[in-house]
A and B are shown apart, each in its own frame.
Chain A
Amino acid sequence: MKKSPWVFHVNTGACNNCDIEILDLLAPKFDVERFGIKLVGSPRHADALLVTGVVTAQAAPRLREIYRQTAKPCVVFAIGACACDTGIFYSGYHVVGPVDKIIKEIDPNAIIAYVPGCPPKPEAMIAGVVKALSTL
């Protein structure tokens, strides 16, 4: 799993900045396929969920469902300030929590890695992925 993490991208109410940075990672400049990282179309194939955005009330049940559908073992990456601790939207009426709170509701032993930044640079994401995978 260290050598071929396949990632699935989940947007739970992000402003699209983090998503654009994730797409930068997969494009030729950073070319994460060198490390075997591949974007897949189905959570069943994924080893890592890249979650961006504060979790909104609408998105929370979907995030739980996607986490249940992912084949274990898997890692959850909270990408960006919002996903890590809801960022500047902490008092929003529609915000039900940072990503780790929602995931831990259904699986207390889930492996969660945090990449802060608004948005985090692609280099920061690579560093985060490397650190998270080296602790496994």
Chain B
Amino acid sequence: MTNVAWNLFWIVVFPGFLFTSLLGLVASWVVRKVSALVQWRVGPPVMQPFYDVAKLLGKEILVPEDARKGVFMAAPLIGMAGVLLLSTVLWRTAIAQSAFLGDVIVVMYLMVVPSLALILGGSASASPHAAIGTSREMKLVIGYELPLVLALVVVILKAGGQLNLAMLAQQTPVYSISGMVAFLTSVLCVQAKLGLVPFDIAESETEIASGILMEYSGALLAVWKMMQAMMLVALPLFLVTVFLGGFGTTGWALAWGIGKYVLVLVLLILIKNTNPRVRIDQAMRFFWTYCSGALVIAIILAAIGSRYGIQWL
């Protein structure tokens, strides 16, 4: 096979679309099942997310009269493409150790694409609820991007200035004080990126009727649901790669890698189930003051640690 064919195979079949979306739908079942168990319920069967998507694909697509039709239809596909590339890059790093210089920065940009697509779709759908959701999502993105970048700075400092994902995956920063702080704050940022409960301000069903996604129906809604399911794979994988020492490829290392992924996922679900939704101003204050403040201290500790060779700082 030629190089192009291999690249297509990676994007479409193995770590890309097919694999990630199947795994993502299973992960979204895990989210619903664990939430049900926390609330002493039985919860849906394993196939439930698959039934949901199959049903949505067969339904009518309604486009609001005043909506920008092109942008409205394109936004879910843009978001999906972003997550697809993100997950392909991360899995290629995890499995084949193939990385390129500066891919950390590429990953940072790709992680914003789904949020941008949500903002695009919400503002194109000409609905007041979606407009409120869009403005909240914008503020939330501004809020959580700063601590996430600062957390990455900590990791890069600990790796001695490496901008390469495969090199970052070689070390486990959580075994140090600054790394632990960075890990915990970025778990919260990922929670906000996934739109899970304490930070589901943009999509809150009880006040603005699922906000951004309000006007979407049928196959377009199915694409959004798939995108969110794929983010459930890609973002915990990002945390595992950057903070927890990455995936192995064989035997126990692989099993331990999967264990770390499940651990991060369950941590996210438990945060989701034990916290009420915050207001947008509370979220901004939380991310900018507390998270960023803690991370500035962590960066100083990491800088001192790497200057004098103290591993545990």
Contact = CB atoms under 8 A, between A and B. Distances in A.
Given A40-B205, A71-B218, A1 B58 contact: yes
Contacts of A69: 62
Contacts of B221: 44-45
Contacts of B61: 71
Given A33-B36, A36-B52, A71-B217, A28 B60 contact: no
Contacts of B217: 44-45, 71
Contact of A4 (B36, B52, B206): B52
B42 A72 contact: no
A28 B55 contact: no
Contact of B205 (A34, A36, A41, A73): A41
Nearest to B40: A28
A90 B227 CA distance: 48
B210 A40 contact: yes
B162 interface: no
A71 B214 contact: no
B41 A28 contact: yes
B206 A41 contact: yes
Interface string B206-228: 10011001111110010000000
B43 interface: yes
Nearest to A73: B59
A31 interface: yes
Contact of A47 (B44, B55, B213): B55
A56 to B, nearest CB: 22
Contact of A33 (B43, B59, B210, B215): B43
Interface residues of A, number: 19
Given A33-B32, A71-B60, A71-B218, A4 B48 contact: yes
Contacts of A47: 55, 59
B275 interface: no
A31 B58 contact: no
Contacts of A44: 62, 214-217, 221
B159 to A, nearest CB: 43
B33 to A, nearest CB: 10
Interface residues of B, number: 30
**Interface secondary structure of B, over-half rule:** loop
B100 interface: no
Interface in B26-48: 32, 36, 39-45, 47-48
B9 interface: no
Contacts of B55: 1, 3-4, 47
B14 interface: no
A71 B59 contact: yes
Nearest to B208: A41
A40 B55 CA distance: 15
Nearest to A37: B44
Interface string A22-40: 0000001001011010001
A31 B218 CA distance: 25
A58 interface: no
A3 to B, nearest CB: 4
B256 interface: no
Given A42-B214, A71-B59, A71-B61, A33 B51 contact: no
Nearest to B44: A33
Nearest to A39: B205
A72 B44 contact: no
Contacts of B51: 3-4, 36
Contacts of A1: 55, 58
4 nearest CB pairs, A to B: A3-B51, A41-B205, A41-B209, A71-B217
16 contacts: A3-B47, A4-B48, A4-B51, A4-B55, A31-B36, A33-B42, A36-B44, A40-B205, A41-B214, A42-B213, A42-B214, A44-B62, A44-B214, A44-B221, A71-B61, A71-B218
